[in-house]
Amino acid sequence: MSCYMEERIEKIREQLHNRSYKLTPQREATLRVLLENEEDHLTAEDVYLLVRDKSPDIGLATVYRTLELMSDLSIIHKINFGDGVSRYEFRDEDAEHHHHHLICVQCGSVNEIHEDLLGEVEKSVSSNFHFKILDHRLTFHGICQKCQEAAEQNGTPVVKKANISG
Give me the residues that bind its own copies (CB under 8 A), please.
77-80, 82, 84, 86, 102, 104-105, 111, 113, 117-118, 121-122, 124-125, 129-145, 148, 165-166
43-47: Cβ within 8 A, 24+ apart: 43/85, 43/86, 43/87, 43/88, 44/86, 44/88, 47/88
Which H or E element spans position 31?
Answer: helix 25-36
- Crossing angle (nearest 10°) for helices 2-18 and 25-36: 140
Size of the site for DNA (CB under 7 A): 24
Site membership for DNA, residue 86 (CB under 7 A): yes
Site membership for DNA, residue 124 (CB under 7 A): no
Alpha carbons 59 and 9: distance in angstroms, whole number: 21
Identify residues 18-57 at the interface with DNA (CB under 7 A). Answer: 20-22, 24-27, 43-45, 55, 57
Nearer to its own copies, 33 or 110 (CB): 110
Which H or E element spans position 104?
Answer: strand 100-104
Distance of closest approach, residue 146 Cβ to its own copies, in angstroms: 9
Residue ranges that bind DNA, judged by CB under 7 A: 20-22, 24-27, 43-45, 55, 57-62, 64-66, 68, 84-86
